[in-house]
Structure 1
Amino acid sequence: MKVAGLFAGIGGLERGLAAAGHEPSLLCEIWEPARAVLAARMPDVPCKRDVRELRSLPRETELLTGGFPCQDLSQAGRTAGIGGARSGLVGEIFRLLDRRRVPWVVLENVSFMLQLDKGSGMRTLVEAFEELGYRWAYRVVNSLSFLPQRRERVLFVATTTEVDPASVVLTDEAEPALASTDLNARAHGFYWTEGVRGLGWAPDSIPTLKNGSTVGIASPPAILLPSGDVITPDVRDAERLQGFPENWTSPAEEVSRTSIRWSLVGNAVTVPVAKWLGSRLARPGVYELGRDCELPLNGRWPKAARFDGRRRHAVHINAYPKWEKRSSLTTFLRYDGKPLSVRATRGFLLRTERAKLRFADGFQDRLREHLARMELHANSSNGNFAVAAE
Structure 2
Amino acid sequence: MSNSALMTAEPAVSRWKESGTIIPIKARESVSKKYSTVSLFCGCGGLDLGFVGGFRFKDLEYVEQPFDVKAAYDFNDKCIDTYRQNISEHAEVKDLSQYDPREVPAAEVLIGGFPCQDFASCGPRNGLNSERGRLYEALLRYMDVHKPMVVVGENVIGLANIDGGRALETIKARLSERGYKVQIWTLFAPDYGVPQTRTRLFIVAVREDLKGFPEQPVPTHENGYRTLRWAIDDLRDVQDESIPNQSQYFRASKAKRGNGQGDEKSKADAPGYTVRANAKSRVQFHYDLERRLTVRECARIQTFPDTFTFAHSATTNIMQIGNAVPPMLAHAVSTSIARWLEQL
TM-score (norm 1): 0.62
| Identity value in percent | 22
Change (3 A) 1:133 1:192: farther
Q: Is the 8 A contact 2:121 2:158 kept in 1?
A: yes
Change (3 A) 1:116 1:201: farther
Q: Is the 8 A contact 1:6 1:67 kept in 2?
A: yes
Instruction: Please name the residue that 1:14 is paired with.
Output: 48
Instruction: Please name the residue that 2:170 is paired with.
Output: 124
- Aligned length, in residue pairs: 267
Displacement of 1:130 in angstroms is 1.2
Between the aligned partners of 2:261 and 2:219, the Cα distance in structure 1 is: 32
Q: Deviations over 1:325-357 (max 9, x none)?
A: xxxxxxxxxxxxxxxxxxxxxxxxxxxxxxxxx
> Secondary structure at 1:23's aligned position in 2?
strand
Between the aligned partners of 2:141 and 2:149, the Cα distance in structure 1 is: 15
Between the aligned partners of 2:261 and 2:195, the Cα distance in structure 1 is: 23
Q: Is the 8 A contact 1:168 1:277 kept in 2?
A: no
Q: Is the 8 A contact 1:10 1:249 kept in 2?
A: no
Between the aligned partners of 1:200 and 1:124, the Cα distance in structure 2 is: 39
TM-score (norm 2): 0.70
Change (3 A) 1:105 1:111: same
Which among 293, 305, 314 is matched to residue 258 of structure 1?
Answer: 314
Larger Rg: 1
Instruction: Please name the residue that 2:259 is paired with.
Output: 195
Structure 1 unmatched ranges of 5 or more? 182-186, 286-390
Which among 70, 82, 85 is matched to residue 25 of structure 1?
Answer: 70
Between the aligned partners of 2:302 and 2:185, the Cα distance in structure 1 is: 19
Check if 1:149 corresponds to 2:187.
no
Decide which structure has greater helix share.
1
Displacement of 1:172 in angstroms is 1.9
Between the aligned partners of 1:218 and 1:197, the Cα distance in structure 2 is: 9
Between the aligned partners of 1:192 and 1:24, the Cα distance in structure 2 is: 43
Check if 1:211 corresponds to 2:258.
no
Instruction: Please name the residue that 2:210 is paired with.
Output: 162
Q: Deviations over 1:35-89 (max 9, x none)?
A: 2112222343142421134312545401111100000000111110123221211
Which among 315, 329, 343 is matched to residue 273 of structure 1?
Answer: 329
Change (3 A) 1:243 1:130: same
Between the aligned partners of 1:5 and 1:55, the Cα distance in structure 2 is: 15
Q: Is the 8 A contact 1:206 1:223 kept in 2?
A: no
Displacement of 1:21 in angstroms is 2.5
Between the aligned partners of 1:24 and 1:3, the Cα distance in structure 2 is: 4
Change (3 A) 1:130 1:259: same
Structure 2 unmatched ranges of 5 or more? 1-34, 54-64, 228-232, 234-254
Displacement of 1:121 in angstroms is 1.6
Displacement of 1:93 in angstroms is 1.6
